Every structure is written in C-alpha cells, then in structure tokens.
C-alpha cells in the first residue's frame, strides 16, 4: 500500500462511517453490548478461577493417625505422605495442637476450655493437595498408608467449586461464540449498506483497473474503526461496572469471603482482548461484506 493512500483510505473509511450514522451507531452499540457481556462473563470466570486457586491452596485434607501409634511413630509417617502424588505439603499436628486448635474455635465454651484432655484427640496430618480434581484418588492413596486410620476430606465442597468453575467456563465460551457471530453479522450488514451505496464507485474502480486490495481498504478501515470504537467504549464501561461490583462486594458483610481481583491487575489483558476482538469483529465483518463485490 502506497503511503499517500493511507490518509485517503482513512478519510474514505470515516466518510463511510458517518454517511450511515444510525447503522454505524447500531454496529458500535452491538459491539459494545457483545464485548461487555463477553467481558463480564470472562471476568466472572477469571474471578471464580482465582477464588478456586485460593481455595485449592488452602484446601487441606486431614489424615488421622492410628491411635496405637506413639508420637515418634506418627511423626515417622511424614515422608511417606509427602511422597504421594498430588500432595503439595503435609503438616504434622499433635494431639495437643489439635486440642488447642479446637479450643480456639470455642473460646466461650467453658466445658471445652477446662475439661478436655489431649488423649481424646488423635495425631493427624494436614495434607495440602496440588489439584482438587484428584481429591478422590489422593484420599484413597492416603487411606492405603499403613498407620493412617481415617481421612477427612471435603470432597463435596471441592467438587462443588469445580462444577461452578466448569459451568462458568462453558457458558462463557458459548456466549463468546454466539456474540462473536452476531457482532460480525451486524457489522457486516452495516458495511454492506456502504458497499451498496458505493457500488457504482466500486464498479468504476474495477473498470479502471483498481486492485481488489485498493477497493477493499476503505471498507476495512471503516470496519476497523467501528470495532475499535466499540472496544474502547466497552472497555471503559466494563471498568466502571467492575469497580462498582467490586465495591458492592467489599461493602457487603455476607460476601466478605469472596476476594475480587483488582482491575489494575486485569486492565492490560482486558484492553488487549477487547481491542483485539473489536478489531477482529470489525475487520471480519467488513471483509465478509465486501467479498461479493470483488468477484471479477
């Protein structure tokens, strides 16, 4: 592309965009809506994933040692437990520590504070897992270790989190695909109007020997600008929406446990994905619209 044509293509693209103000507005609007819905679901998925990773890192399975084992024998199981696959770390908890921890949970219960003896607790290991998906297999492996009597795992809870994340991901991907196609369709139709308006001009350009590339560029610019404008608007709306939701969660007592990833950590990928998707939608739509005019 010759340098002196870039300004021309840009001006033509802008002129095309303004000549169909309403359709351009609709195309930008649908792009904003699509990106916003896509972005919101993606950010929900990102936060759910971050939440799960936190839970995974905190997730512990309690492996109770046989009551007949002495403290030394119980401590001797540590290396064997550490060597099991999917075990991130193990921490030995003596009967005394277990009792102290229990009492700490009920500081106002005098009965627990005064009448308990360490012997009613068992030595145990807090086992941290690498991957929650493999909880069932790891629990079975722990139970197979000689000296481990029982394993207390919160499989249902971890499976629940996995289900939530999987559903969020599937919904997100499905929505992205549907909205992507809808956006391309709308932008393509907007640009089809422009190409229809300029069909005579296109025919003359072809007749005088303009290459398909030359004819295509103004429409590509138009699609590019529609997509980019949609992306910029949706980015700032997404930012405002995200901050509002984050503030809402932070000030709500019942949602205190949920940790929202700050937008400062996310704005670069969000801007890149919005910009890339907007441009892809715009350029894809314009190429699809102009295709039939360029058949020789």
Query: Residue 220 CB, nearest distance to another protein (Å)?
Result: 16
Q: Which one of residues 8, 10, 92, 185 is an interface residue with another protein (CB under 8 A)? A: 8
Q: Which is nearer to another protein, 161 or 214 (CB)?
A: 214
Interactions with another protein, residue window 33-92 (CB under 8 A): none
Token pair 């997509």 in the structure block, residue: 227
Q: What phi-psi label fits residue 225: left (phi over 0), alpha (psi between -120 and 50 degrees) or beta? A: alpha
Residue 3 phi/psi, 5-degree rounding, is -60, -40
Query: Residue 288 CB, nearest distance to another protein (Å)?
Result: 19
Q: The dihedral of CA 163, 166, 169, 173: what is its sign? A: negative
Kindly write out the interface string for residues 196-215 of this chain, putting x where it contacts another protein by CB under 8 A and - elsewhere. ----xx-xxxxxxxxxx-xx
Q: Which is nearer to another protein, 137 or 201 (CB)?
A: 201
Q: Which is nearer to another protein, 69 or 214 (CB)?
A: 214
Q: Which is nearer to another protein, 94 or 212 (CB)?
A: 212
Q: What phi-psi label fits residue 157: left (phi over 0), alpha (psi between -120 and 50 degrees) or beta? A: alpha
Q: Considering only 4-12, 162-170, 223-231, 267-275, which stretch makes contact with another protein by CB under 8 A?
A: 4-12
Is 21 an interacting residue with respect to another protein (CB under 8 A)? no
β-pairing, 60-65 vs 148-152, is antiparallel
Q: Which is nearer to another protein, 202 or 229 (CB)?
A: 202
Q: Which is nearer to another protein, 4 or 117 (CB)?
A: 4
Query: Residue 1 CB, nearest distance to another protein (Å)?
Result: 10
Query: Residue 239 CB, nearest distance to another protein (Å)?
Result: 40
Query: Residue 24 CB, nearest distance to another protein (Å)?
Result: 18
DSSP the chain: --HHHHHHHHHHHHHHHHHTHHHHHHHHHHHHHHHHHHHHHHHHHHHHHHHHHHHHHH-EEEEEEPTTS-HHHHHTTHHHHHTSTTEEEEEEE-HHHHHHHHHHH-TT-HHHHHH--GGGS--EEEEEES-GGGHHHHHHHHHTSTTEEEEE--HHHHHHHHHHHHHHHHHHHHHHHHHHHHHHHHHHHHHHHHHHHTHHHHHHHHHHT--HHHHHHHHHHHHHHHHHHHHHHHHHHHHHHHHHHHHHHHT-GGGTTPPPPPHHHHHHHHHHHHHHHHHHHHHHHHHHHHGGGG--
Query: Residue 193 CB, nearest distance to another protein (Å)?
Result: 16
Query: Residue 215 CB, nearest distance to another protein (Å)?
Result: 8
Interactions with another protein, residue window 207-266 (CB under 8 A): 207-212, 214-215
Query: Residue 213 CB, nearest distance to another protein (Å)?
Result: 10
Q: Which is nearer to another protein, 58 or 200 (CB)?
A: 200
Q: Considering only 172-180, 186-194, 195-203, 242-250, which stretch makes contact with another protein by CB under 8 A?
A: 195-203
Q: Which is nearer to another protein, 151 or 202 (CB)?
A: 202
Applying CB under 8 A, which residues contact another protein? 2, 4-5, 8, 200-201, 203-212, 214-215, 296
């Amino acid at each position: 592309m010759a340098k002196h044509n870039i300004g021309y293509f840009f001006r033509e693209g802008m002129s095309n965009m303004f000549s169909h103000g309403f359709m351009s507005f609709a195309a930008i609007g649908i792009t904003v809506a699509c990106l916003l819905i896509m972005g919101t679901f993606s950010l929900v998925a990102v936060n759910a994933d971050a939440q799960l990773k936190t839970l995974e890192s905190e997730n512990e399975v309690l492996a109770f040692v046989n009551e007949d084992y002495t403290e030394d024998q119980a401590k001797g199981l540590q290396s064997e437990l550490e060597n099991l696959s999917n075990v991130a770390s193990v921490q030995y908890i003596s009967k005394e520590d277990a009792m102290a921890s229990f009492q700490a949970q009920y500081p106002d219960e005098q009965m627990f504070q005064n009448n308990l003896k360490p012997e009613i607790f068992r030595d145990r290991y807090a086992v941290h897992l690498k991957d929650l998906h493999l909880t069932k297999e790891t629990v079975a492996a722990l139970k197979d270790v000689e000296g481990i009597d029982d394993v207390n795992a919160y499989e249902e809870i971890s499976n629940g989190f996995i289900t939530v994340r999987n559903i969020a991901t599937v919904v997100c991907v499905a929505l992205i695909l549907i909205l992507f196609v809808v956006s391309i369709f709308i932008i393509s139709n907007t640009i089809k109007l422009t190409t229809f308006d300029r069909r005579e001009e296109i025919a003359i350009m072809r007749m005088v020997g303009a290459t398909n590339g030359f004819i295509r560029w103004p429409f590509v610019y138009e699609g590019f600008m529609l997509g980019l404008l949609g992306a910029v608007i949706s980015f700032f709306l997404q930012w405002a929406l995200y901050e509002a939701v984050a503030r809402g969660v932070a000030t709500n007592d019942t949602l205190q446990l949920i940790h929202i990833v700050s937008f400062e950590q996310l704005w670069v990928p969000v801007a890149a994905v919005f910009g890339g998707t907007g441009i892809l939608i715009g350029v894809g739509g314009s190429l699809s619209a102009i295709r039939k005019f360029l058949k020789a």
